[in-house]
């Protein structure tokens, strides 16, 4: 009986996995529409608020722009 339950649970898990794989969204969380290449393993987005998936709540300052443009560089911009 336990083997039958394990087989049923495995089949249910496999069906759920296949369902979610088929229906998962192709949208990448940090990217605006049309941003980011599918074949790029690094997935680095362009700088600026127009390249973001979510629109910023407030207008960006020069420091915001410089910080976004410098990422992931180790040295912060001089506009801080």
List the domain boundaries for the chain: 48-80
0.75 cut: is pTM over it? Answer: no
Unique residue bearing structure tokens 């980011």: 36
Question: Residue 10 has what pLDDT?
Answer: 97
- How would you class 62 by CB atoms within 10 Å of its CB: exposed for 0-12, middle for 13-18, buried for 19 or more? exposed
Question: Residue 27 has what pLDDT?
Answer: 61
Q: How many CB atoms lie within 10 A of CB 33?
A: 8
Q: What is the DSSP string of 32-45?
A: PTT-S-TT-SS-PP
Q: How confident is the model at residue 48 (pLDDT cuts 50, 70, 90)?
A: confident
Residue 79 above 80 pLDDT? Answer: no
Residue 15 above 90 pLDDT? Answer: yes
Q: What's the mean pLDDT when you consider all of the chain?
A: 79
Q: How many CB atoms lie within 10 A of CB 16?
A: 10
């Amino acid at each position: 009986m336990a083997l039958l339950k394990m087989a049923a649970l495995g089949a249910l898990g496999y069906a759920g996995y296949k369902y979610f794989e088929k229906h998962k969204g192709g949208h990448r969380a940090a990217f605006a529409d049309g941003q980011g290449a599918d074949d790029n393993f690094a997935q680095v987005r362009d700088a600026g608020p127009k390249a973001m998936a979510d629109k910023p709540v407030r207008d960006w300052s020069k420091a915001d722009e410089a910080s976004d443009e410098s990422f992931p560089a180790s040295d912060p911009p001089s506009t801080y």
